[in-house]
Amino acid sequence: MITYHYTEIEKQKIFYREAGNPKKPTLVLLHGFPSSSFYFRNLMPLLENDFHLLAPDYPGFGQSAKPNHKEFKYSFEHLTDIVEALIEQLLIKRYYLYVFDYGAPIGFRLALRQPESVLGIISQNGNIYQEGLGAKWQERAKYWHNPTQAQRQAFQSAFAPDTIKNQYLNGERPGSVAPDGYSLDIFYSQNANYAEVQSDLIFDYQNNVALYPTFQKYLRQEEPKLLALWGKNDPSFVYPGAEAFKRDLPKAEIHLLDAGHFALESQYQIIADYIKNWH
């Protein structure tokens, strides 16, 4: 049974989903862009007998608060602060991480801060390698090096309704993805503050790329247990990013799935089985 909660962190309302027995190992589920913890709605019931599950919405996403970007710093470092505070508030000492998309730079920052707390990492299209960056990131790199207001506005196409829908459907078999996920994401994108919030995060993503060597060093030094489950048809984070884990972590378990970026939408049963066998 999934339960739904709100708490307060840094005077902001933070929403999270929870399931499973708290006496079981905790698995922290970290969503991506432009989604929310709703992304894990199908996976959580399949894992609740094996884990204590925690899936938060970051500030600016889902049901969590969406403070004005002039009053709240939207950076991946700050989102990590929020997730870390939630984990501490719930008195969780050790945990597994499921990192997807934006969840990867947040989850790997947590691992850098608290390597002794991380039992293992599941990366589902959660990239930390240059070779995992699809073609669109070349244009974003140009923007990072020469930011202009016009370019900032141009990248707002990343959360236009048709773009969101296509992110869900690209690389998937026709009829295999329900409209629920992208419809909800489109609904959330209509918030008046949304464009500025997400634009701040698109610009800040350059700091995640700069940290890739540090994340990779963490893998070599700490040798965490790692499972990579990758929608191989993802044009955003391409599958060589999954295969690259083997370079720093030869014991990593890697599976390429016939799916796109939001692989859980069509592959949640297969992903759940892989996680159960791995953990």
- Positions annotated as catalytic residues are 261
In Å, the largest CA–CA distance within the chain is: 51
* Residues whose CB is less than 8 angstroms from the CB of residue 9 and which lie 6 or more positions away in sequence, other chains included: 82, 85, 86, 89
Euclidean distance between the first and the last CA atom of the chain, given in angstroms as a whole number: 21
Distance CA 149, CA 132 (A): 28
For β-strands 12-19 and 226-231, DSSP reports them as unpaired
- Under DSSP, is residue 162 helix (H, G, I), strand (E, B) or coil? helix
The type of residue at 75 is: S
Distance CA 177, CA 168 (A): 7
Integer Cα distance of 25 and 261 in angstroms:
27
Helices (H), the chain: 44-47, 76-89, 103-113, 136-145, 149-154, 161-169, 180-188, 194-222, 240-243, 245-248, 264-278
Helix (H, G, I), strand (E, B) or coil at 50: coil
| The amino acid at 275 | I
